[in-house]
Amino acid sequence: MGRSVLRRHVPCVGLATGWTFFLLVQAFYAGALTMFFSSSTDIPFSSAREGLLLYPRWKMVLPTDERVLVDFLAKEARDPPFVEFYQRSEEPGQERIS
């Protein structure tokens, strides 16, 4: 009885181990190769203010949550890049806060 159980289960355990190893290796190398072959984009700014200063070449799309920040910086602080962005965001077809 002991040998027949081993004969039936050893191939199943080996097969499951092999497929698990294959899956892990495949997942690792697929992610690694994707990172290796993907090109990184160089963004020439590190803050929203710097991005707004590069307006003609770069357009800003901000999430709705940032509307409060833009409103404050445009209306209260009167920060020129944010004032211009706020005015442009009110025009249809221009930069937007969505």
For the chain, which residues make up each domain, given as ranges?
1-40, 48-97
CA-CA-CA-CA torsion sign (85, 87, 89, 94): negative
Query: For residue 91, what are its two tokens?
Result: 């025009």
pLDDT digits (tens, 9 = 90+) for 3-14: 676 677 777 888
Q: Is 18 exposed, middle or buried (0-12, 13-18, 19+ CB in 10 A)?
A: exposed
The pLDDT value given to residue 6? 65
Question: 3-state DSSP call for residue 20?
Answer: helix
Stretch 47-69: mean pLDDT: 82
* pLDDT cut 90: percent of the chain above it: 6
What is the C-alpha separation between 50 and 44, in angstroms, rounded?
9
Amino acid at 53: L
Entry pTM: 0.49
The pLDDT value given to residue 19? 92
Query: For residue 35, what are its two tokens?
Result: 């990172």
Report which of residues 1 and 55 the model is more confident about.
55
Stretch 14-27: mean pLDDT: 89
Query: For residue 51, what are its two tokens?
Result: 């991005």
